[in-house]
Structure 1
Amino acid sequence: MLITRPISGRDDWHRVAPNLGDGFAQWWRRRRRPEEKPTVKGYARRTGKQENEIYYESSFDIPEDFGTIGAVLIENEHHKEMFVKNIVLDGLSSGPIDITCNSWIHAKFDNPTKRIFFSNKSYLPSQTPSALKSYRDKELGNLRGDGTGERKTSDRIYDYDVYNDLGDPDEDEDLARPVLGGPEHPYPRRCRTGRPRTEKDPLSESRSSNVYVPRDEAFSEVKQATFSAKTVYSVLHALVPQVQSSIAGDLPFPHFTAIDVLFNEGVELSDATKIGSGLASIIPRLVKAISDTGNNVLRFETPEFLDRDKFAWFRDAEFGRQTLAGVNPCTIKLVTEWPLKSKLDPEVYGPAESAITKELVEEEIGGFMTVEEAVKQKKLFILDYHDLLMPCVNKVRELKGTTLYGSRTLFFLMPSGTLRPLFIELVRPPVDGKPQWKQVFQQCWDATGVWLWRLAKAHVLAHDSGYHQLVSHWLRTHCCTEPYIIATNRQLSAMHPIYRLLHPHLRYTMEINALAREALINANGIIEKAFSPGKYSIELSSIAYDQLWRFDLEALPADLINRGMAVEDPTAPRGLKLTIEDYPYANDGLLIWDAIKQWVTDYVTYYYPEASLVELDNELQSWWTEIRTVGHGDKKDEPWWPELKTPDDLIGILTIIIWVASGFHAAVNFGQFDYGGYFPNRPTIARTQMPTEDPNGEEKNRFLDRPEEFLLECFPSQLQAASFTAVQDILSTHSPDEEYIGEQIQPYWAEDKVIKSAFERFNGQIKMIEGIIDARNADTELMNRTGAGLVPYELLKPFSEAGVTGKGVPNSISI
């Protein structure tokens, strides 16, 4: 029986069904036959429907000596593609055979190549029945393509290219952007589209309104419910342009109460008809019509952070807490050496030693311990954006409407387990004959000092927001995962057990990434308009990839140890002891990490009972080699890449990939609106310089006269705030069709008793984690996750309903 679904997006499925027509199927045996036998043919005819599913049946006369059926060939004889969900072969003496497809089938007139689908039984390459080996190889060849030509929407080809499609030099020379990928700007690779090069820059690829992804990566068309990619597209291409045309200029908010208008009155759109009639139904929580005025108004829901405590953003305690339990909890690190020093060339960037001196610190911590004792007792922690940002500072300062510093923020660990901010250092490198400028700011008890501290904090938060969006979020999850997806489809057969383990964790990511390249991270896109680095934003993520990214340190335990936030301790659970015991991201993340690792261990040891099977698996070895040498080819010679020789090696590699796509992405993504929707808490940009940089200038006098006005001018403008708040809202939204980690067993696993049992154990662990996190959030002793007006830390709570919930760990990077 052949089950299909009509193309979604059409309300009347009766119009679609006639276009699906008869499917042509061929069957062949798969094992215990030294040679392939002739196939058995049949035509599938429509027999019925149920809701959005259409059923087809075909009859076959299978000889007694045919052997076990191992695969299906399908040919679509009509002129439109069809989506095949699954095939069930019934009436066999051995019982029914399920073949899971979940794939689009092109019309044979577009591509005469018949589609191959294998049964749900998994095989390593060396264990593949002889009759199936050629089909296994042929299907992989189809997916790899030949590396030439422009890709069509119906193609299923996975190939690599550099990021050379973010700029648009033919439109405007100012929109030209460097190629990311290669010795000058190292970067992961993206999916090749094959579009023609631009006229003005032969190294750049021309842009188009429809960015190619392999056909089965664009799954949204078959979903009955709203799919997140469609929502993202609508926000980026319809809503944001309307906001930009409705808010004139780039004016700051005139006063703090004006910011509240975004949530209680909204922004009137100049021509809401241009948004499209379907947008309100796509994102009903985001776009609301105020009926009593007769106008179309964009009004945001109040973020939970603001709803619980409107003034929490003012408090230094909350500033410190969010480094451990906010949307970017993965950059805080332990201070292990004193004095603080830069690793940059002092001939270029000025003196390397920080202006945060021993004397300043000892005075601030009350003189009850020396700096050396504080370092030894692991009391000092730092957000250090100095060396990453300094190479960009002077370039960014040439841009209109923004500025930049290198920054260091020093924290002290209090007996309560909370972090107290001590100092903020802002640094500007030498420029135009002027020497390096640096200044240290601290919380004060005089009016001027208090406002300078608030301004300095705004700059640091803009740095943290930029690092979060460009590095923690985009680079480490979306960007670095795309090569894993490409390599998995090019090198691992669909019947390979590791392909089937990874597949749920690769869902929708390439489509989301394509949308990001189209309208989010592109030249003059939302990121460049709203974040401090401006046109150098994505170039900054290349610097971070070059300086900081290591595959082995994407493992949560290794990352914590590398940042000094944990140490190896054989006496502690899992052999790891946290430096700050109440570190919500680490505590909850390690629960998810352990559950993933146990599930992967059960799975891998079942299919690789002997260590030699890993080295003998040619598909697996090609997969890992391609990830290292092509997908992340700019780092192919690094010594830290794990080897792939044993099952333990494979378990470590797979656990990292699955953790990044699920737990880590959830931790840095789904809190964006709750923590950043009210932008004073996490401004994305700092638009003005510190008034003390030119102590005799007009800016200093303006600051002294109107400090609140000066701070609002530093914050994002009305246009930047409204535009990016809309994006944050939608990036924080769970789709109704979300698939959460450990929730849904795949059909391939359900048919094997051992794997089914292992998954059920995984599912049980994940459900247990839900309860553990609830108990932690109710523990008043854990002050980094509970307290008056605090948003509880639920970003790693596994399950969620649809919408903006601040919780839920999807299987994959699906938004």
Structure 2
Amino acid sequence: MLKELFRNDGERFMKFPLPDVIKDDKSAWRSDEEFGREMLAGVNPVIISRLRGFPPASNLDPKVYGNQNSSITRDDIQGNMNGLTVDEAIEKKKLFILDHHDALMPYLQKINSTTTKTYASRTLLLLQDDGTLKPLAIELSLPHPQGDHHGAVNKVFTPAEHGIECTIWQLAKAYAAVNDSGYHQLVSHWLNTHAVIEPFVIATNRQLSVIHPIYKLLHPHYRDTMNINAYARQILINADGVLERTVFPARYALEMSSGIYKNWVFTEQALPADLLKRGMAEPDSSQPHGVRLLIEDYPFAVDGLEIWKDEPWWPEMQTRDELVQSCTIIIWVASALHAAVNFGQYPYAGYLPNRPTVSRRFMPEPGTPEYAELAEHPDVAFLKTITAQLQTLLGVSLIEILSRHSTDEVYLGQRDTPGWTSDDEPLAAFERFRERLIKIEKKIIEMNDDKRWKNRVGPVNLPYTLLYPNTTDYSREGGLTGKGIPNSISI
């Protein structure tokens, strides 16, 4: 039933084939392995972090929000820890969390006053010996009915394979995916790439001469960004626009993303700094990029560090090295970071049961008609909970467009104006950069073919190519290729 709904929505939505794992209705649910894998090699691989203490703690002000710390106990997860204790797993740096609690909780009462009915969520995962992440528990939280200062009302769900408990676990994963989907679109994508790069575009064009070397360096990475952002304000992020209609925060989408922007720090956008902040890496001077990944098979980070320009830490803009680092962050955000969170939307989210954008009702309670339906007709109950069909058509149409590379794409390591400079030194440096990117392309293909790296392809047989530079491609074919790092945010 789940498959048929999407197959019948029109041939145009099937240009990118359904994942191999979806062979019949019973296997249409997303597996736990793929659920964990997409946090490392999906469309939003920039949120997962290492759990440094147990139980997970909140950073929300307890004077305003009361106790927002997690209710997950050791007993909830101990039986699924592969013989480790929780303390041992933390000490060995094997516990990770996808945390959408603090970002959502302050807005949840408003959001749930709309047709959305959802939760703030925390997902705990264990790093296994084969490099994959195994979900241990999902906590779904609501504001206390007596007011914010009374804290959160939490429910904890753990994996199950049979009966109604399995369906409930699939629903819990769906609520977590709804949060990740909305946060991805509003924050990881719109805010942290499109919106934050715009002031640099304006400042560069206002303050630097067109013959200034920094202008020449950055100019290709601003191509069409102001235009696409203007279109976004007209039809996507505007009041009652496409995003408000298709992602769970509804009319509170921009309020939420604006609030989260207050915590954005330019220096933390450098990939090594971001990985260190999230606890996904540790400083290690023996490594080429100065950091050692704690999950060796983390495709976004592995490929991203290859593309990241290896320069010293940031930044008061008083030395040439600091200027280089600042320009590198700007180029990274405008090219590789945007590619990683944009061009995988249709492959990973074009099948809505895998990555729903809205939840329309809460988890059914035992003894209710909704709970009985969940037991008797799990597919029907699931579809009544996630994104509605009309929203699905609108959302899938949008992400199909956003995931397409244009036919006039200029990829990282390419220039659309060969005469951008006549100076030998920058021309030689640019050629070295281009050659390095071509080597990275070959390395990514080799790693995707290497069966040791289970997260690079995953159970859905979809190789991670979002940070494949595509520097060698001058075909100008474009389309749903699933690979390529354009110079700029142009869609």
TM-score (norm 1): 0.57
**2:413 aligns with one of 730, 734, 742:** 742
| 2:56 is the alignment partner of 1:343 | no
Assess if the C-alpha contact under 8 Å between 1:303 and 1:675 holds in 2.
no
Deviation, 1:641, is 8.6
**1:130-187 Cα deviation digits (max 9, x unpaired):** xxxxxxxxxxxxxxxxxxxxxxxxxxxxxxxxxxxxxxxxxxxxxxxxxxxxxxxxxx
**1:678 aligns with one of 338, 342, 351:** 351
Deviation, 1:543, is 1.9
| 2:430 is the alignment partner of 1:759 | yes
CA distance in 1, matches of 2:30, 2:56: 27
**1:478-514 Cα deviation digits (max 9, x unpaired):** 0000000000011011111101110000000000000
CA distance in 1, matches of 2:120, 2:147: 19
**What is residue 515 of structure 1 aligned with on the other side?**
231
| 2:461 is the alignment partner of 1:777 | no
CA distance in 2, matches of 1:374, 1:656: 34
| 2:22 is the alignment partner of 1:260 | no
Deviation, 1:345, is 3.5
Q: In structure 1, list runs of 5 or more residues that go unmatched.
A: 1-253, 267-297, 602-639
Give the direction of change, closer, same or farther, for the CA distance of 1:544–1:305 in structure 2 (3 Å limit). farther
Per the alignment, in what secondary structure is the counterpart of residue 483 of structure 2?
coil
Equivalent residue runs for 1:109-508 within 5 Å: 256-262=3-9, 266=10, 299-306=12-19, 309-310=22-23, 311=27, 314-346=30-62, 348-366=64-82, 368-400=83-115, 402-432=116-146, 436-508=152-224
Equivalent residue runs for 1:559-578 within 5 Å: 559-578=274-293
Assess if the C-alpha contact under 8 Å between 1:305 and 1:675 holds in 2.
no
Deviation, 1:350, is 4.3
> Aligned letter for 1:656?
I
Per the alignment, in what secondary structure is the counterpart of residue 448 of structure 1?
helix
| 2:351 is the alignment partner of 1:687 | no
Deviation, 1:346, is 3.8
Deviation, 1:446, is 3.9
CA distance in 2, matches of 1:358, 1:305: 38
**What is residue 607 of structure 1 aligned with on the other side?**
none
**1:345-376 Cα deviation digits (max 9, x unpaired):** 4455443331111222222214x222111101
CA distance in 2, matches of 1:749, 1:590: 27
Specify which structure has the bigger relative contact order, considering alpha-carbon pairs within 8 angstroms and separated by 6 or more residues: 2
CA distance in 1, matches of 2:167, 2:459: 25
**What is residue 809 of structure 1 aligned with on the other side?**
485
Greater share of residues in helix = 2
Give the direction of change, closer, same or farther, for the CA distance of 1:255–1:337 in structure 2 (3 Å limit). closer
Assess if the C-alpha contact under 8 Å between 1:303 and 1:678 holds in 2.
no
CA distance in 1, matches of 2:94, 2:269: 25
Give the direction of change, closer, same or farther, for the CA distance of 1:305–1:498 in structure 2 (3 Å limit). farther
| 2:315 is the alignment partner of 1:642 | yes
Deviation, 1:746, is 4.3
Give the direction of change, closer, same or farther, for the CA distance of 1:308–1:698 in structure 2 (3 Å limit). closer
Give the direction of change, closer, same or farther, for the CA distance of 1:755–1:804 in structure 2 (3 Å limit). same
Assess if the C-alpha contact under 8 Å between 1:350 and 1:430 holds in 2.
no
**1:713 aligns with one of 362, 365, 384:** 384
**1:735-756 Cα deviation digits (max 9, x unpaired):** 1111001022744554111111
Assess if the C-alpha contact under 8 Å between 1:409 and 1:424 holds in 2.
yes
Greater share of residues in strand = 1
Equivalent residue runs for 1:522-537 within 5 Å: 522-537=238-253
Deviation, 1:312, is 6.8
| 2:445 is the alignment partner of 1:731 | no
Assess if the C-alpha contact under 8 Å between 1:334 and 1:563 holds in 2.
yes
> Aligned letter for 1:488?
T
TM-score (norm 2): 0.93
Deviation, 1:301, is 2.8
Assess if the C-alpha contact under 8 Å between 1:409 and 1:421 holds in 2.
yes
| 2:342 is the alignment partner of 1:669 | yes
| 2:331 is the alignment partner of 1:653 | no
| 2:270 is the alignment partner of 1:555 | yes
Give the direction of change, closer, same or farther, for the CA distance of 1:479–1:752 in structure 2 (3 Å limit). same
Deviation, 1:532, is 0.7
Assess if the C-alpha contact under 8 Å between 1:777 and 1:785 holds in 2.
yes
**1:315-356 Cα deviation digits (max 9, x unpaired):** 110011110000100101000112211122445544333111
Deviation, 1:787, is 5.1
Assess if the C-alpha contact under 8 Å between 2:19 and 2:461 holds in 1.
no
* CA RMSD between the two structures: 2.1
**What is residue 543 of structure 1 aligned with on the other side?**
259
Give the direction of change, closer, same or farther, for the CA distance of 1:438–1:516 in structure 2 (3 Å limit). same
Deviation, 1:797, is 0.6
CA distance in 1, matches of 2:93, 2:489: 35
> Aligned letter for 1:552?
T
> Aligned letter for 2:219?
H
**1:68-118 Cα deviation digits (max 9, x unpaired):** xxxxxxxxxxxxxxxxxxxxxxxxxxxxxxxxxxxxxxxxxxxxxxxxxxx
Deviation, 1:703, is 2.9
> Aligned letter for 2:341?
V
CA distance in 2, matches of 1:433, 1:384: 22
Deviation, 1:776, is 0.6
